[in-house]
């Protein structure tokens, strides 16, 4: 496989990007193409032993920053690492792209360069995380704030295909995110979607609440991008706040420090089970190519895991499976 990595993506680029790429090249024995300023990348690679590794560099003279507006980046910065990386996927020079850069820009550039799968109304940013031992997929978490019923149907089908083919979940349980499990709960869009989802070729388990994520009642959660983004950010903020509170309390005096020392391995294991970033990044479903987006603060380990996630999508032939799944949805809808 040939996987392109936006080496200028993270907030601390290119250090974690390059380190993660080296880790991935050692682990997976695939070709990793580092996209970005060639001299900067070479200087960073010199800090690592890359003997025998298949690592290439594709020069890109510009960088998309987190403050750049997607529409402006789409028209400008044509020589950015993000533009060059997506074009490599579009041209078949790379099998996938991984980036920790500006999410909005990545979505806009990917839609322009790689384009959507035929029939897909809107791509979706899809969060995948292992929560308390369960792999959970949330579609959409930010690409579409105002969503139509037809889009939600496609989100459900694309999320179902991804969970089944990439995450290897047999008959994924698909739920609609709502403020209650009753059929009558939710906003107008959710209430309209509920009976439609019942007739879809998926394992629909009805409305689900955020608590269902933590108790293993659902594998794929479908929602609009506005609600999904708030859900994801609330979860991340909660985990961060809990960590801060525990850290402060466990270092308050010598007794708490002693207790913290004794509990440290167990606390680490517990937090690892609730870390939404441990699986990797967020695939952009609905594109005619594989793009994985992770967060700007990604560590080398997260970059490595995101590359692994891209590999899984390539191996599962997720694009072809998505095309087939959407065709099945369209056929049954017509009937």
Cβ(44)–Cβ(5) under 8 Å? no
Residue for token pair 């390059």: 18
Give 73-77 contacts, CB < 8 A, sequence gap 24+.
73/102, 73/105, 73/108, 73/109, 74/105, 74/108, 74/109, 74/112
Local mean pLDDT, 10-residue blocks, the chain (335 residues)? 95 95 94 97 96 96 91 88 96 96 91 91 86 83 88 93 89 93 88 92 92 88 91 79 79 81 73 58 90 90 92 90 79 61
Alpha-carbon distance of 119 to 296, in angstroms, equals 31
What is the CB neighbour count within 10 angstroms for residue 84?
Answer: 24
pLDDT at site 250? 78
Under DSSP, the state recorded for 77 is -
pLDDT at site 29? 85
pLDDT at site 61? 95
The enclosing H or E element of 208 equals strand 203-208
Pairing, β 31-36 against β 173-177: unpaired
pLDDT (tens digit per residue) in 180-195: 888 888 889 999 999 9
pLDDT at site 156? 94
pLDDT at site 301? 92
Under DSSP, the state recorded for 35 is E
What is the CB neighbour count within 10 angstroms for residue 320?
Answer: 12
pLDDT at site 235? 78
What global pTM score does this model have?
0.84
Torsion of CA 242, 245, 250, 252, to 10 degrees: 180
Alpha-carbon distance of 113 to 108, in angstroms, equals 9
Phi, psi for residue 80 in degrees, rounded to 5: -75, 160
Alpha-carbon distance of 96 to 257, in angstroms, equals 46
Residue for token pair 């979706």: 124
Residue for token pair 């706040």: 241
Beta bridge partners of 4: 33, 97
Cβ(200)–Cβ(161) under 8 Å? no
What is the CB neighbour count within 10 angstroms for residue 312?
Answer: 19
Alpha-carbon distance of 247 to 269, in angstroms, equals 15
Q: Which residues of 25-56 are buried (b: 16+ CB within 10 A; e: fewer)?
A: beebebbbbbbbbeebbeebbeebebeebebe
Q: Which residues of 109-142 are buried (b: 16+ CB within 10 A; e: fewer)?
A: bbbebbebbeebebbbbbbbbbbeebbbbbbbbb
pLDDT at site 277? 53
């Amino acid at each position: 496989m040939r996987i392109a990595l936006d080496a200028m993506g993270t907030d601390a680029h290119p250090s974690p990007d390059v380190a993660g790429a080296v880790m991935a090249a050692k682990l997976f024995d695939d070709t990793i193409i580092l996209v970005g300023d060639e001299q900067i990348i070479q200087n960073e690679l010199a800090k690592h032993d890359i003997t025998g590794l298949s690592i290439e560099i594709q020069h890109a003279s510009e960088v998309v920053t987190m403050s750049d507006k997607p529409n402006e980046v789409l028209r400008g910065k044509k020589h950015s690492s993000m533009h060059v990386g997506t074009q490599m996927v579009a041209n078949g020079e790379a099998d996938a792209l991984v980036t920790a850069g500006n999410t909005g820009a990545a979505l806009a550039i990917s839609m322009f360069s790689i384009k959507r799968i035929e029939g897909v109304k809107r791509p979706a940013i899809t969060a995948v995380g292992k929560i308390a031992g369960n792999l959970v997929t949330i579609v959409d978490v930010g690409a579409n704030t105002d969503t139509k019923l037809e889009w939600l149907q496609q989100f459900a089908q694309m999320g179902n295909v991804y969970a089944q083919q990439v995450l290897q979940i047999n008959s994924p349980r698909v739920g609609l995110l709502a403020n209650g499990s009753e059929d009558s709960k939710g906003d107008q869009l959710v209430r309209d979607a509920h009976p439609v989802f019942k007739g879809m070729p998926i394992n629909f388990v009805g409305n689900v609440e955020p608590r269902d994520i933590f108790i293993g009642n659902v594998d794929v959660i479908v929602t609009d991008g506005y609600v999904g983004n708030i859900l994801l950010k609330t979860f991340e903020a909660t985990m961060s706040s809990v960590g801060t509170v525990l850290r402060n309390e466990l270092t308050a005096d010598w007794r708490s420090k002693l207790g913290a020392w004794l509990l440290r391995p167990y606390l680490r294991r517990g937090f690892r089970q609730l870390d939404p970033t441990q699986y990797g990044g967020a695939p952009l479903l609905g594109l005619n190519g594989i793009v994985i987006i992770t967060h700007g603060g990604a560590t080398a380990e997260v970059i490595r895991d995101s590359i692994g996630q891209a590999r899984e999508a390539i191996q599962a032939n997720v694009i072809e499976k998505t095309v087939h799944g959407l065709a099945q949805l369209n056929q049954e809808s017509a009937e």
